[in-house]
Each structure stands twice: as structure tokens, then as C-alpha cells.
Amino acid sequence: MSRNKKNIIINDVEVADAGAEGNAIVRVDGMVVFVPYVVPGDIIDLNIFRKKKNYAEGRAIALKRPSPLRVEAPCKHFGVCGGCKWQMMDYASQLKYKQQQVRDALERIGHLDTSGMLPICGADKQYNYRNKLEFTFSSKRWLSADEIRDPEDPGDVGFHVPGVFDKVLPIRECHLQGSPSNEIRNSIRDYALEHKLPFYDIRNHTGFLRNVVIRNTSTGELMVIVIVAEQRNEWLYPLMDFLKEKFPQITSLLYIINEKMNDSYSDLEVFTYSGQGYITEQMPRPFGGDPLRFRINPKSFYQTNSEQAFKLYSHVARFAELKGDETLYDLYTGTGTIGQFLASKCRQVIGIEYIEAAIEDARLNASINGFDNCTFYAGDMAEVLTEEFVQRNGKPDIVVTDPPRAGMHDKVIAQLLNIRAPRIVYVSCNPATQARDLSLLSEAYDLGRIQPVDMFPHTHHVENIVELTLRNKK
């Protein structure tokens, strides 16, 4: 081991495990060191550059012997982009470590019994699985250490590098969304350079092109939203005409004028330049019949991996074991997709969701799908899900809950313990907060089956479904 003031270098250490946030774990003298972009089984030279009380952070400065779990990362942006931290690990190992992440969270954080854990549900499609990507134009290109900034550089289009808000990593090919996602993004860039449309500078609030959002469906519909900083029709309209002509497969060509300081567009008007103002995704019905149809507006949430969303919902349906006469609450319903997936197998669905526009979509989609037994309410869960609400809507026989990463509010958990629905199916995109919530719910509920699902291959993210059954049913 050699040391200087800040850095410690350790030669020939083995990477032990895969840990939180996609970093691997190396153990040095009992201390955990988090290291990105290495795989369990790699032998590396390790540079520890930051030491905290309970752990340290490091980087691999040499790969001495690659792990048998290693594969060639196909993406040329791998290692800088930060989007797919596990591309260099074979898919079977990714699944193994995701499953372990769920088990560790439930056991260590929640002190829960994980004997009901089923093998993780993997994805058939490990690339081009996303139905939505958003790219940012920036007058400042992210440069690697050996590049020097050219004052004439117009900037580029790509993804934000983690932790750098004003620069983008130029992306030429992203493997997460199918064709023509890359062609559209690259064409807008080339067009802008040729026609001297300036890229946006978020520090000085100058420039024109801000973002492009590309959404597609399994049925071939394609939405492109171009977001610009000001209404300059002499720049905007020729660009939109160019896209329309070059990509006739675009079914929904939209634009947004964002004059604000930040990139969020949830509060801005969306203009339809050509085609329809929405796209429609289809999903097979779990209990037979024509596919479900979900109209997706430019601002609507829809699960970003459609194929895996079907599998996720199918596992929810399996755990729900509906007979047909149930009142089902779908908490954090978004655009009501889980509720509608299950609606034909229960008496009524009650969906609750924060975002008013999502609830409007949920209502519209329920009518498109021919359901008259779904009722959706907009509001904050902690405020809406009250005793009075339950009295008015009927006591749930089953609750499906799918909260955001932060998990459920204490008040919501207290209310669920008060409502005492015989069964709960808890869907989560964050096993750590799920473990915390389950531990509180375990006061009255037993954990049954546990089904992790991989929605995002090559990332460390994992979705998990847990079945809960009320003890001492009265």
C-alpha cells in the first residue's frame, strides 16, 4: 500500500460485491470502499480518494484481471454517461445482484422474512427497451480531462453528466430507445449546426434549442416534442417542417416554448405542429379480450418499459388473486393503468393520484377501454385516503399501492393499518423505502410472496412487488 496526503493506492485487490447506486464494493481492512464501473471478481489497482466515517470512495486505476462476469459494454458513451452503470456485467449477474439488493434491503432495513422471495423477472429485451428519452441541447459540451474548450464550439445535444447541470455529454448513439430515436436527435443537431440555430445556455439564458423528448409505442406511434427558449417562428417552423419531411413516421409532432429558468415543462402549453396531440399505447388484457388502450399525452406518465410494465402488472394480478366481487383501491394510480389492468376482474376500482392531469387521462382511458367501474380521485394521498373517504367509497378488499421512490407517508401507512384491508399488494421502485414501509405494516400484515422485476437492464434500478395478508382477520 502506498500513500500520499490525499490518496491511498492499493494494488491487486478483488472486487467483492455489487452495492448501492450501481457501485461495486471492495473490502479493505474491514472497510467498505464503493467503486464505480467494476464488476465483482475483477482484480484491480484501487485508488481510495475519499474516506468517510463508515465507508470510503475509490476508483479503479488499473484492471489487472477481468472478472468472468465481465462483458464488453456496447455503448461508446459507457463510463461517462452514467445512465447504464452495469453494461459491463453479464445480464444474468445483473439480475442476481438486483435480487440480492431487494433481499438485503428487506432483511437489513426492514428486518423482514424474505422466505417468500421468487426469482427475479428479467427482461427479454435488454436494449432499446425504453419508450421515452429526453435529450438536452447545451451551448457547453462536457469535455474529458484531456480536451481543451474551443471558444467557437457551438455545443451539442445529449444527456447531463451526473452532477454537472450546465453541460451535456454529446450522445451519438443511445442503445436504450429503438430507431429512429438516435436519427431524430442527431438530425436536429446537424440541422441546427447547418442553419446556425444556437443551443441553449442555461447559465446566461441565451440560445434557442433546449430539449427534445422522443416517445414511442409498441404499435409504431411516435411523438417528438421540441422545446425551444422563445417563439421565433422563422427558426422553429422550418425545423419542424424538416422533421416532418425527414421522419414521416412521426405521428405526433409537438413543440413547447419554455422561457423559464429551468427545464421542467409540466406547467407549459404544448402546441401540436402536425399529427395528433397524443400517442396511444396498447397492452394485452390479462383476462382476455382486445388489448387495453392507453392514450398518452405529452405530459402523461407511462411506465417507460412497456414490455416489462406488462409483466409487472401481470405479477400484481397474480398476487391480487381477484375473484370478481372485490373493491380494489389503486393508490398512486398515475394514469390509472394498474387499476384498468385489473378492472375486469373486480367489482370496482378506486384510484387515487396527486396529479390532476393524470387523473383526467385515467378517466379518459377507462372510458376508451369500456370500464364503468373505475372512479379516480385527484389529491395528496395523506389528505384523500381518510376514514370518511373509505366510508363513501366502500372498504377495500384489496389495496394495490405503487408510491414514488420516497415511499409512503407515515399518515398513509397509519391509515392503511386503520383500514385493515384483507390484502395489500405493494409495488415499489425503491426497495429501501419499501422495506421501511413494510416493517411498519408488518404490525398487522404478514409478508407473502416477493417478486422483484427488472424494468431497467444495465442500470442498478429494480422494481419489487410484495404480497401482504392481514393477520387476525375479524
Catalytic residues: 429
Subset of 420-449 contacting ligand SAH (CB under 6 A)? none
Quick one: which of 147, 230, 259, 380 contacts ligand SAH (CB under 6 A)? Answer: 380
308 binds ligand SAH (CB under 6 A): no
Q: Cell numbers at residue 127, please?
A: 436494449
The DSSP bridge partners found for residue 451 are 465
Tell me the number of residues near ligand SAH by CB under 6 A: 15
Which of the stretches 47-55, 116-124, 248-256, 332-340 binds ligand SAH when contact is defined by CB under 6 A? 332-340
Judged by CB, which is closer to ligand SAH: 46, or 331? 331
Which residue stretch of 18-26, 45-53, 208-216, 330-338 sits at the interface with ligand SAH (rule: CB under 6 A)? 330-338
The set of residues, in sequence order, having a beta carbon less than 8 Å from that of 395 and lying 6+ positions away, is 327, 419, 421
Q: Exposure string (b/e) for 297-306, b if CB count within 10 Å is 16 or more?
A: bbbbbbbbbb
Return the number of the residue (56 or 419) whose C-beta is nearest ligand SAH: 419
DSSP state of 187: H
Assess 305 for contact with ligand SAH (CB under 6 A).
Answer: no
Q: Reduced to 3 states, what is the DSSP secondary structure of residue 236?
A: helix
Q: Which residues contact 219 (CB under 8 A, 6 or more apart)?
A: 280, 281, 282
Query: Please, which residue, 271 or 301, has the CB nearer to ligand SAH?
Result: 301
Give the binding range for ligand SAH (CB under 6 A) out of 8-16, 66-74, 348-356, 389-397: 348-356
Of 144 and 266, the one with the shorter C-beta distance to ligand SAH is 266
- Degrees to nearest 5, angle at CA 159 with 300 and 433: 60
CB 94 within 8 A of CB 40: no
Least gap, CB of 384 to ligand SAH (angstroms): 7
The residues with which 279 forms a beta bridge, in sequence order, are 296
By C-beta, is 47 or 333 nearer to ligand SAH? 333
Residues with Cβ within 8 Å of residue 235, at least 6 apart in sequence: 195, 197, 208, 228
Buried b / exposed e along 120-151 (16+ C-beta atoms within 10 A)? bbbbeeebebbbbbebbbbbbbbeeeeeeeee
Specify the 3-state DSSP secondary structure of 358.
Answer: helix
Piece of 95-103, 222-230, 314-322, 354-362 that binds ligand SAH (CB under 6 A): 354-362
Residue type for 317, please? Answer: A
- The strand pair at 31-35 and 24-28 is best described as antiparallel
Q: Which of 42, 104, 281, 353 binds ligand SAH (CB under 6 A)?
A: 353
Binds ligand SAH by CB under 6 A, chosen from 338, 342, 343, 374: 338
Residue number of the CB closest to ligand SAH reads 334
Interacting residues with ligand SAH between 389 and 418 (CB under 6 A): 402, 404
Q: Which residues are at the interface with ligand SAH (CB under 6 A)?
A: 301, 303, 332-334, 337-338, 353-355, 358, 380-381, 402, 404
